Amino acid sequence: MKNILQYLFALFLMVCSACSKSDDTGNPTIPGGGASSSSYWPLAVGNTWNLVNLNDPEDKSVYLLHKTVEHSGKTYFQIKPVGTNAKVELTNGIREEDGIFYELHGATSAMGVNTSAGVITSINTKLPVGATWKEDLTITVSGMASGTIKHSNEGKILAKSSSESIQGKTYKDVIKVETKKTVRNSISGQSLTLVYETWLCKSVGIIYEKTTYNGTHADQYQLVNYVLK
């Protein structure tokens, strides 16, 4: 899995079973680069970030915001999971409010299993370097099986940099954040911990990410190009 929402899609499939990249680049040396806002991760349908694995150039990671979903009067943007049709109906999403990014785990109903909806903080760019935060979310599972899925997010601001060089390009005003996500499934008894190190460039979005799985394996990706609508 290359990103948080792709992972969450796979997680939902795991729960059910337990119960039975664009060539447009913008100009990355100029803050904005065609950006639609001054956010550290501009959210708009059609925005795309293409990244490549540092150790395997053939391994690509694509963040494509392909649609929106509403929850409690708020609009969330959906990242298209790799290997799915753009018309696939998902309930997850992400939104930003005053520099804080929230991930939506939307309600689902499939294969006789129902899950409740919930929202949890994913990234907080408003904090100073070294600051930490923690938040929990418990999702209820009902139907053919009952139980809970508990998400625990722990975040930290690692650094703030005036500029960083990625794939030979210079990006200005970069914030480096870490989010440790632990997911516990009471039905299967399984637990998974992912640690995301994410570098975000103001008015551009993600330029680097490192994902560590259960402390044993890590993947690193760097931005190649991006498109902002």
Give the pLDDT confidence of 2-60 residue by residue, as tens digits.
Answer: 454 444 444 443 343 333 333 333 333 333 333 446 899 999 999 999 999 999 989 99
Burial of 107 (0-12, 13-18, 19+ CB in 10 A): middle
User: What is the structure's pLDDT at 85?
Assistant: 63
CB 103 within 8 A of CB 95: no
User: What is the structure's pLDDT at 11?
Assistant: 45
The arithmetic mean of pLDDT across residues 168-197, rounded, is 95
User: What is the structure's pLDDT at 86?
Assistant: 52
The arithmetic mean of pLDDT across residues 117-131, rounded, is 96
Tokens encoding 78: 């959906």
Distance CA 178, CA 122 (A): 10
Which residue segment(s) compose the domain that 32 sits in? Answer: 4-227
Tokens encoding 55: 């150790």
User: What is the structure's pLDDT at 25?
Assistant: 37
Give the pLDDT confidence of 60-70 residue by residue, as tens digits.
Answer: 999 999 999 99
Distance CA 39, CA 98 (A): 9
SS3 assignment, position 19 = coil
The tally of domains found in the chain comes to 1
Domain of 138, CATH number, reads: 2.40.360
139 CB neighbour count, 10 Å cutoff: 22
4 φ/ψ angles, rounded to the nearest 5 degrees: -60, -50
User: What is the structure's pLDDT at 111?
Assistant: 87
**How sure is the predictor about 163, in pLDDT bands with cuts at 50, 70 and 90?**
very high
